């Protein structure tokens, strides 16, 4: 690796001799090279094995790829000192697998807590009631921050063009309202709306979303078959 700013590394292939090139005294090592990408980049650390026909082509490829690497490193360095760079960093962080998986776990935990609080008979002023309120407050703060992070990461048209984001906003608004309006009657109805948040898992679990979409699209044909 030539330096921390360069996003890939060129290296020569292991030495072995081709039967077709042995007569010419030329090993394939002279005609091959590898390109190894960054582990956290778009290509996820994949290595690409390239082979050319002549030695001048190897030199041309190496020079071309290295020039592109330097340009890319310079572009990334420039982006980091601008709003575009900050926005890209936030978006990359928000869409990372770690953040999305953590969000799914929190949504599942929030669903279980909400169901438990609605099904259990909790005495007024008990420690159990206080515990549920603390957990509810913490989850509301976390999901409010997650919504804000989503808004910044997908600012602006990308955010408002997604119906999932409107669902997120609605559920967070309901959660905040249920905290500040807990003295009114039927506040449990507001809390029940928070269970809708579990639907957001469809947005992040692509396999589950495909199943739901397939089932939805099959309703029409199945209904027609029953009518016939």
Q: What is the DSSP letter of 13?
A: P
- Quote the pLDDT of residue 178: 81
- Quote the pLDDT of residue 3: 40
- Quote the pLDDT of residue 63: 86
Q: 53 burial class (0-12, 13-18, 19+ CB within 10 angstroms)? A: exposed
**CA angle, residues 217, 221, 225, in degrees to nearest 5:** 155
Q: 215 burial class (0-12, 13-18, 19+ CB within 10 angstroms)? A: exposed
- Quote the pLDDT of residue 7: 39
Instruction: Find tokens 């449990």 and name the residue.
Output: 188
Q: Is the pTM of this model over 0.85?
A: no
Start-to-end CA span in the chain (Å):
67
Per-run averaged pLDDT (10 residues), the chain, 228 residues? 40 39 50 77 78 82 84 71 75 89 89 86 88 92 94 90 88 85 68 72 61 68 70
Instruction: Find tokens 């990308």 and name the residue.
Output: 158
């Amino acid at each position: 690796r030539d330096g921390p700013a360069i996003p890939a590394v060129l290296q020569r292939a292991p030495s072995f001799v081709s039967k077709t090139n042995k007569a010419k005294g030329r090993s394939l090592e002279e005609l091959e090279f590898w390109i190894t990408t960054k582990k956290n980049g778009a290509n996820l650390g994949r290595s690409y094995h390239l082979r050319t026909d002549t030695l001048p082509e190897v030199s041309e490829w190496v020079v071309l790829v290295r020039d592109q690497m330097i340009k890319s490193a310079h572009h990334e360095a420039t982006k980091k000192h601008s709003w575009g760079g900050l926005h890209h960093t936030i978006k990359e962080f928000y869409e990372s697998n770690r953040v999305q998986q953590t969000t799914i776990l929190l949504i599942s935990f929030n669903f279980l807590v909400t169901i438990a609080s609605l099904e259990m008979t909790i005495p007024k002023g008990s420690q159990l009631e206080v515990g549920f309120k603390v957990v509810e407050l913490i989850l509301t703060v976390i999901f409010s921050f997650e919504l804000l992070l989503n808004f910044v990461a997908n600012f602006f048209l990308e955010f408002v063009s997604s119906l999932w984001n409107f669902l997120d906003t609605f559920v967070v608004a309901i959660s905040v309202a249920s905290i500040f309006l807990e003295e009114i009657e039927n506040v449990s109805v507001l809390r029940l709306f928070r269970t809708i948040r579990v639907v957001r898992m469809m947005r992040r679990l692509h396999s589950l979303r495909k199943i739901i979409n397939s089932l939805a699209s099959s309703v029409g044909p199945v209904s027609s078959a029953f009518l016939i």
